[in-house]
Amino acid sequence: MTQTENSLAWPDHKPTALLVLADGTVLEGFGLGAEGQAVGEVCFNTAMTGYEEILTDPSYAGQLITFTFPHIGNVGTNDEDIETVNMAATPGARGVILRSAITDPSNYRASRHLDQWLRARDIIGISGIDTRALTALIRSKGMPNGVIAHAKDGAFDLHGLKEEAREWPGLEGMDLVPMVTSGQRFDWDETPWAWDKGFGRLTAPEFNVVAIDYGIKRNILRLLAGEGCKITVVPATTSAEDILAMKPDGVFLSNGPGDPAETGKYAVPVIQKVIDSGTPTFGICLGHQMLGLAVGAKTKKMHQGHHGANHPVKDETTGKVEINLDEPRFCRGPGDAAEGRDADPHLAVRRLQLRHPARG
């Protein structure tokens, strides 16, 4: 067999993408989505569905998502599943890491191939990676900084990529909320999707809720509207005086990216004033962490984070365990919660996340 015949029989699949970690580890794969390079914190997500919602979740700003489930892209994408409030904006994950190549979509709701969708949103991806091994590395050593590079010609500046991954400062001490929060106040009345009907509209509101947008997701707003809440969404830097002037029945502190201690430098004083006013206040993700800071607790960076759709959470008031969707990178530890209780007698731990001690 000639060399030409041999190359036809055994084609040389030259890598068109690299994942370079801060410790110098280089993983070769095949590019997808946009060309170029993206630096961020490498995490993993164990959800088997909802990849479009995950990739457009503003809470993942600054991160490169490794999907542990191998079949990503098989139901395509559509505009209804996007989580960013501004449909034209692209806050969310900086990159995506997959085990298998993206297949053609097979779903009646699909309007675009995932690869085309990634290119349109300027998200860089890599496939052909042993995601089990990468996940095991993250569980062992924590979430590393890294760079995904995609070039169709397979030409890379390896030295430059290693340097970029090594020098990226990481999420600790980083306030990413300014890049994902809304630019102005707006109202929301869209309710959750229903089979054969699509999304609905709130017609008879019962409660007036102000939502502070630290990177809020569309579906959270829909769920609140579905419970009868008239929602006014305000930017992250809105003053407590402006919030309380709307006479809300409750204030919601949204999810979002980055370090709560850093964002809290301007957000926590506002939250404290809202709490002192006696207005019911609740939060999730970043909002929950900053609510803890506001009552005297502390936050810390998690070893590997909790990213998935099947995390058990125990309700301390009932003893029941609920299955929860999770996305945090920071948390309040037991000791910090105790300090918070000393600082504020009204603080009580209602729910505890259950996990294996070695998994963090």
- What are the residue boundaries of the structural domains of the chain, listed by start? 3-170, 178-353
Q: Which helix (H) or strand (E) holds 269?
A: helix 260-276
Lowest mean pLDDT among 65-74, 118-127, 167-176, 316-325: 316-325
pLDDT band at 349 (very low <50, low <70, confident <90, very high): low
pLDDT at 35: 98
pLDDT at 86: 79
pLDDT at 312: 73
Mean pLDDT (the chain, rounded) = 87
Q: What is the rounded distance in angstroms from the CA atom of residue 121 to the CA atom of residue 264?
A: 29
pLDDT at 356: 44
pTM as predicted: 0.87
Yes or no: is domain 178-353 CATH 3.40.50.720? no
pLDDT band at 119 (very low <50, low <70, confident <90, very high): very high
pLDDT band at 314 (very low <50, low <70, confident <90, very high): confident
Q: What is the rounded distance in angstroms from the CA atom of residue 308 to the CA atom of residue 47?
A: 5
The string of DSSP letters for 229-265 reads EEEEEEETT--HHHHHHT--SEEEEPP--S-HHHHHH
**pLDDT more than 90, % of the chain:** 70
Cα 5 to the center of its chain, rounded Å: 48
For the segment(s) 3-170, the CATH number from 2.30.110.10, 2.120.10.60, 3.30.930.10, 3.50.30.20 is: 3.50.30.20
56 pLDDT more than 80: yes
pLDDT at 301: 67
pLDDT band at 11 (very low <50, low <70, confident <90, very high): low
165 pLDDT more than 60: yes
